[in-house]
Chain A
């Protein structure tokens, strides 16, 4: 792995249980700053569980137990004194299905600011515009900011969700199959957008789509389940290495299987 890059997120011996069921087992990896890291693997291998561990979203479910350590900028986010609100502001999330609030486009993007108690109208307007521009949506919506977000197309909605996440100025953006509900053209737009965003943000993306991982990511982590259905990290490295000369035969099998 490239040593020049600064590590943003470092995961050590992460185990996550749903009740008694061990969903991911002993994951250890380092995610570099300002890059795109893709998590790939077959369905049920714990990709979403892993991703949701990075902003502690798993805790919304009852009966989830997390062991091990996840550090962002060197601070363990699972230590008891962590402020969850700050953590989630710092680590934004984009979901599989676009999930805009049933509010106006403007209010969707402004939401994160409003809940912080920010009232300054000018500042909110500026941030909304900037976020929409960064999400490559501004030109399409600038004339209908006060229309319902639900009137947008799926691809636009997903970019709106990205803008909404950007508005709170996170450093990390987690994306769980952000394009799986979109058509190919909308998908390419999201991918372009990700390439732009990585200049400033650390992006972790879960994807089912091999080509997508190969196209956009700098690093790839391949997960697979063991005989107890617990997800494990099989291989992690530069995307080009993983796709051209995987070290583990299981990685090769998965990748070629999907290509063939």
Chain B
């Protein structure tokens, strides 16, 4: 028994370390490919941190290549905001509804159906957005171009909802029944109980759900590639076409000259995206853990 347990322990730790090591290796690989922007004197002239963050244009294949990240960051932020603004209230509302207000048997139907959304390939979502959402957005907002940040964010919301919903719903569900009973026994209505007891108790988990949805929205490639319009520009309007970081990498990586400044820049862009989503995921998992602890009564 002793030996078996030890063996199981060793195997599990090994598997876990393989996962961790692969993430580290991926990071190192991407980082290594982007190193020339710091150390290669030729490349450093065209592509460096000052160019990335303090110029305005992304035109990597013009005669004088321009490598500003700003329009890409603006684009990514825009579609992410739209996606979260749409997806968050819907996911949280649906999660509250399924966990607090409907009987168990309906919950067992609704939850898997929403979660099934995450099985829709993003290319299909993109296609749907191209055919339908783009038209709705154009009619509704009189947008000059069908493909813009709102269209892309709207389509992204479909990818974000199942994630945020599942995590919120799980967080609400781990709130012990005793807390709900205590609240009801004090004369609270179901609604008051949901909003004033269950939701605050699960707030960390709900927040983690938003964060992971955020990470998904920022990293999603195919949908935005198809429906964002892919114009790298710095504007305030959400109805302008945008170009996001992941879409840029996906669109340009196939044709870039190996070892060029453009190549290193794309990798650096990838590194940036990787780091941001990594940090977001890390914060989310910390929050989740903290909520669970709090609900178990630990500090």
Q: Which residue of B lies closest to A83 (CB)?
A: B187
Measured between alpha carbons, how far is A151 from B181 in the docked complex, in Å?
Answer: 21
Determine chain B's interface SS by DSSP, over half rule. Answer: helix
Taking a contact as CB atoms under 8 Å apart, the answer to whether B200 and A60 are in contact is no
Taking a contact as CB atoms under 8 Å apart, the answer to whether B196 and A115 are in contact is yes
With contacts A95-B178, A97-B178, A99-B179 taken as known, whether A111 is within 8 angstroms of B196 at the C-beta atoms is yes
Taking a contact as CB atoms under 8 Å apart, the answer to whether A102 and B294 are in contact is yes
Contact of B182 among A55, A62, A161 (CB under 8 A): A161
B6 close to chain A: CB less than 8 A = no
Measured between alpha carbons, how far is A254 from B237 in the docked complex, in Å?
Answer: 78
Measured between alpha carbons, how far is A99 from B179 in the docked complex, in Å?
Answer: 6
Q: How far is the CB of A116 from chain B (nearest CB, A)?
A: 7
Q: How far is the CB of B254 from chain A (nearest CB, A)?
A: 51
**Complex contacts, B103 vs chain A, CB 8 Å:** 62
B201 close to chain A: CB less than 8 A = yes
Taking a contact as CB atoms under 8 Å apart, the answer to whether B181 and A99 are in contact is yes
- Could you count the A-B residue pairs with CB atoms below 8 Å apart for me: how many are there? 75
Comparing A85-93, A201-209, A227-235, the segment that makes contact with chain B is A85-93
**Complex contacts, A85 vs chain B, CB 8 Å:** 187-189
Q: Which residue of B lies closest to A113 (CB)?
A: B186
**Complex contacts, A142 vs chain B, CB 8 Å:** none
Measured between alpha carbons, how far is A100 from B196 in the docked complex, in Å?
Answer: 13
Q: How far is the CB of A59 from chain B (nearest CB, A)?
A: 9
With contacts A88-B184, A99-B182 taken as known, whether A62 is within 8 angstroms of B197 at the C-beta atoms is no
A112 close to chain B: CB less than 8 A = yes
Q: Interface residue count for B (Cβ, 8 Å)?
A: 25
Binary contact track B198-235/A, C-beta < 8 Å → 1, others 0: 00110000000000000000000000000000000000
Taking a contact as CB atoms under 8 Å apart, the answer to whether A86 and B187 are in contact is yes
Measured between alpha carbons, how far is A226 from B64 in the docked complex, in Å?
Answer: 92
Taking a contact as CB atoms under 8 Å apart, the answer to whether B179 and A101 are in contact is yes
**Complex contacts, B185 vs chain A, CB 8 Å:** 55, 57, 88, 92-93, 95, 165
Taking a contact as CB atoms under 8 Å apart, the answer to whether A101 and B197 are in contact is yes
**Complex contacts, A88 vs chain B, CB 8 Å:** 184-187
**Complex contacts, A95 vs chain B, CB 8 Å:** 178, 181-182, 185
**Complex contacts, B298 vs chain A, CB 8 Å:** 150
Binary contact track B126-152/A, C-beta < 8 Å → 1, others 0: 000000000000000000000000000
B297 close to chain A: CB less than 8 A = yes
**Complex contacts, A49 vs chain B, CB 8 Å:** none
A6 close to chain B: CB less than 8 A = no
A148 close to chain B: CB less than 8 A = yes
**Complex contacts, B294 vs chain A, CB 8 Å:** 102, 150
**Complex contacts, B197 vs chain A, CB 8 Å:** 101
Taking a contact as CB atoms under 8 Å apart, the answer to whether A168 and B186 are in contact is yes
B50 close to chain A: CB less than 8 A = no
Most chain B C-beta atoms within 10 Å of own C-beta, residue among A85, A165, A168: A85
A164 close to chain B: CB less than 8 A = yes
Measured between alpha carbons, how far is A150 from B295 in the docked complex, in Å?
Answer: 9
Contact of B295 among A60, A102, A111 (CB under 8 A): A102
Measured between alpha carbons, how far is A99 from B180 in the docked complex, in Å?
Answer: 10
Taking a contact as CB atoms under 8 Å apart, the answer to whether B176 and A99 are in contact is yes
B173 close to chain A: CB less than 8 A = no
Contact of A168 among B187, B201, B299 (CB under 8 A): B187
A85-B189, A150-B294 known, 9 other contacts, Cβ within 8 Å:
A55-B185, A62-B104, A88-B186, A95-B185, A97-B178, A101-B182, A115-B188, A164-B182, A165-B185
6 inter-chain pairs at a CB distance below 8 angstroms, sorted by A residue, are A60-B184, A62-B103, A85-B188, A111-B188, A115-B196, A150-B299
